[in-house]
Amino acid sequence: MGFATDCIHAGQEPDPSTGAITIPIFQTSTYVQEGIGKHKGYEYARTHNPTRRALEKNLAALEGGTDAYCYASGMAATNAVLTLVKGGERVVVSDNVYGGTHRLFTKILGRYGVEFAFLEASDAAAFDARAGHFAMLWIETPTNPLMKVCDIRALAETAHSRGAILVVDNTFMSPFFQRPLSLGADIVVHSTTKFLNGHSDSVGGVAVVKDPAHADWLRYVQNAAGAILSPFDAWLVLRGTKTLALRMPKHEENGRQVAEFLRAQAKVRKVYWPGFPDHPGHQVHKRQASGFGSMIAFDLGGLDAAKAMLSRVRLCSLGESLGGIETLISHPATMTHAGYTQPERDALGILDGLVRISVGCEDVADLIADLTSALEAV
Ligand SMILES: Cc1ncc(COP(=O)(O)O)c(C=O)c1O
């Protein structure tokens, strides 16, 4: 089936008891059994829930995986995937990943003997030469917030040459634009909170796999550690993915117009958007993705300028998160990337004047009018 058909139908049969076309919210903690060991495949809702399972099948189809497991947040999905690594092993991470990912790796998982190295990964050959040995390579592409592009196919080869696996956080692109498993990645992670749900009303995460051994382990961890996605959240994300193929082209078209508008403003020093032909990695991104998305970062030159602008936006909502149908605007240094220290942010180029915008699906003229007025405050 085509992608849009899978968005609407994959994993979702009409409910056998009523014919309801929409999968019900199975809001139950347990299932009545006919006798000891005699049941319909459902024993306890941490282990199995039909609404969650429908979403997992839907997301596995959209990413081209063999299976998927949903967790209570993107971070819970990330944490579950990291249990594939043991103490004493090394994980290499592309630099300027989401601040929460950096915090989980350095402040929590590092305490259990896993070594984390954050390396620049946009030059795949240079990365291969200096990455050393590792058990897992974790990347975002484009990265959050500087939109650095990593070559998924080349990095998969680098990982596999070391007997390691490649995990791609595909939150920014969604499977509509980029399907890392088809390029050699082993696992894809999403914060479903973002484009997959798309309506800013649910927090969740998913890990999509292709290797049955990874599926077995992540299913085991989902039940054993228990950070499951609730039935209602699963239902909301299913409702979201139904319109993914409609929303993403609109996000991108609006994103392009906003990126071009920002680039033409004298007060904006630099705009980071992979759709610009002179954006580093533009060609690699074009090869591995079918679009550029609507995540844009831009530098206003200093904290005061960023503060002035962000206090003046009206239609664009100042807030953490991204990927909603509403335009969200944020300040990475104090919000999403506050988990990095100031010297770490300075080294990465996450400057105090940097603003990130997740362009939504409003009328773009209204967004540009709002940004024009907000920039007057700078
Ligand atoms: C790229 C990326 N990955 C993971 C996460 C974490 O997801 P969640 O907030 O659902 O835990 C985020 C959150 O902003 C993100 O931007």
Give CA–CA dist 99/15, Å, rounded.
40
What angle, 0 to 180 degrees and rounded to 10, lies between the N-to-C axes of helices 364-375 and 303-312? 130
Ligand 1 centroid – CA 104 distance (Å) = 12
Residue 197 beta carbon below 6 angstroms from any ligand 1 atom: no
Give CA–CA dist 351/80, Å, rounded.
31
Residue in 140, 189, 194 to alter for ligand 1 test, most ligand atoms within 8 A of Cβ: 194
Q: Which atom of ligand 1 is nearest to the CA of 144?
A: 1
Residue the block writes with tokens 């940097």: 354
pLDDT, position 96: 84
For the record, the structure tokens of 351 come out as: 């400057």
pLDDT tens figures, 62-106 = 999 999 999 999 999 999 999 999 999 999 999 989 999 999 999
Q: Cβ distance 46 to 223 under 8 Å?
A: yes
- For ligand 1, atom 10, the nearest C-alpha belongs to 74
Q: CA distances (Å), 20 to each of 10, 14, 25, 186, 238, in order? A: 16, 5, 11, 35, 15
274, 151, 130, 125: CA torsion to nearest 10: -100
Residue 233 beta carbon below 6 angstroms from any ligand 1 atom: no
pLDDT, position 173: 98
With a CB cutoff of 8 Å and minimum separation 6, the contacts of 152 are: 139, 141, 166, 168, 178, 180, 183, 184, 185, 288
pLDDT tens figures, 167-213 = 999 999 999 999 999 999 999 999 999 999 999 999 999 999 999 99
Ligand 1 centroid – CA 323 distance (Å) = 10
Residue 11 beta carbon below 6 angstroms from any ligand 1 atom: no
pLDDT tens figures, 244-273 = 999 999 999 999 999 999 999 999 999 999
**pTM for this predicted structure:** 0.97
pLDDT, position 52: 98
For the record, the structure tokens of 82 come out as: 């990291």
Beta bridge partners of 191: 205
pLDDT tens figures, 28-54 = 999 999 999 999 999 999 999 999 999
DSSP string, 7-19: HHHTT-PPPTTT-
> What letter does residue 27 receive in the DSSP assignment?
-
pLDDT, position 196: 98
Residue 73 beta carbon below 6 angstroms from any ligand 1 atom: yes
Q: CA distances (Å), 173 to each of 48, 129, 195, in order? A: 29, 28, 8
What's the angle, vertex CA 121, arms to CA 303 and CA 350, rounded to 5?
5
pLDDT tens figures, 118-172 = 999 999 999 999 999 999 999 999 998 999 999 999 999 999 999 999 999 999 9
Residue 205 beta carbon below 6 angstroms from any ligand 1 atom: yes
Residue 98 beta carbon below 6 angstroms from any ligand 1 atom: yes
- Ranking 61-70, 202-211, 227-236, 341-350 by mean pLDDT, the lowest is 341-350
Residues with catalytic roles? 46, 98, 169, 194
pLDDT, position 62: 98
Q: CA distances (Å), 255 to each of 149, 180, 324, 359, in order? A: 17, 22, 13, 6
Ligand 1 centroid – CA 144 distance (Å) = 10
Ligand 1 centroid – CA 71 distance (Å) = 12
Q: In what order do the strands lie in the sheet with 136-140?
A: 67-71, 205-209, 187-191, 165-169, 136-140, 90-94, 115-119
Residue 94 beta carbon below 6 angstroms from any ligand 1 atom: no
Ligand 1 centroid – CA 340 distance (Å) = 15
Does residue 180 have a cis peptide bond before it, meaning omega lies within 30 degrees of 0? no
Ligand 1 centroid – CA 98 distance (Å) = 7
Residue 358 beta carbon below 6 angstroms from any ligand 1 atom: no
Sign of CA dihedral 352, 358, 362, 365: positive
Does residue 339 have a pLDDT over 90?
A: no
Give CA–CA dist 321/191, Å, rounded.
10
Mean pLDDT of 318-323: 96
Q: Which atom of ligand 1 is nearest to the CA of 194?
A: 10
